[in-house]
């Protein structure tokens, strides 16, 4: 059971990481970390959808939650990149931009997760 769960999470994490790289490649921006913001908001929306669907549909197995939420969303979203990008902005004296990025990431992330949950649980 544990090996199967590890494989589900690992496969999903690999897919999520590759998707994150694709988003970074096409949306990288030296002025603002748009790519990280996009992946974190999209990942929050998807994880809200996964959790909402899992509560609504008893057929939605724990395997799917492990693969989609823990694996793909876990590999796709990135708190460490958000932290590093904010540190760089602070070191460059971009205090307002850093604060806007932090607040935007948190508020939009929670709102996206709530929206995804609501869309799939009703």
What's the pTM?
0.92
Q: What is the mean pLDDT of residues 104-118?
A: 97
Q: Where are the domains of the chain?
A: 2-121
* Model confidence at 17: pLDDT above 90: yes
DSSP 39-82: HHHHHHHHHHHHHHHHHH-TTS-HHHHIIIIIIIIHHH--HHHH
pLDDT at 93: 98
User: What does the pLDDT look like over 31-83, one tens digit per residue?
Assistant: 999 999 999 999 999 999 999 998 888 778 899 999 999 999 999 999 999 99
pLDDT at 57: 80
Angle formed at CA 56 by CA 120 and CA 8, multiple of 5 degrees: 85
pLDDT at 64: 93
User: What does the pLDDT look like over 76-103, one tens digit per residue?
Assistant: 999 999 999 999 999 999 999 999 999 9
């Amino acid at each position: 059971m544990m090996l199967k769960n590890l494989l589900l999470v690992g496969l999903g994490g690999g897919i999520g990481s590759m998707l994150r790289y694709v988003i970074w490649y096409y949306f990288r921006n030296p002025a603002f970390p748009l790519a990280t913001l996009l992946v974190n908001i999209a990942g929050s929306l998807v994880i809200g959808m996964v959790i909402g669907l899992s509560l609504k549909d008893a057929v939605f197995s724990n395997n799917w939650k492990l693969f989609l939420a823990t694996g793909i969303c876990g590999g796709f979203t990135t708190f460490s990149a958000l932290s590093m990008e904010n540190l760089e902005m602070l070191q460059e004296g971009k205090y307002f931009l850093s604060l806007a990025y932090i607040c935007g990431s948190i508020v939009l992330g929670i709102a996206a997760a709530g929206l995804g949950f609501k869309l799939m649980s009703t």
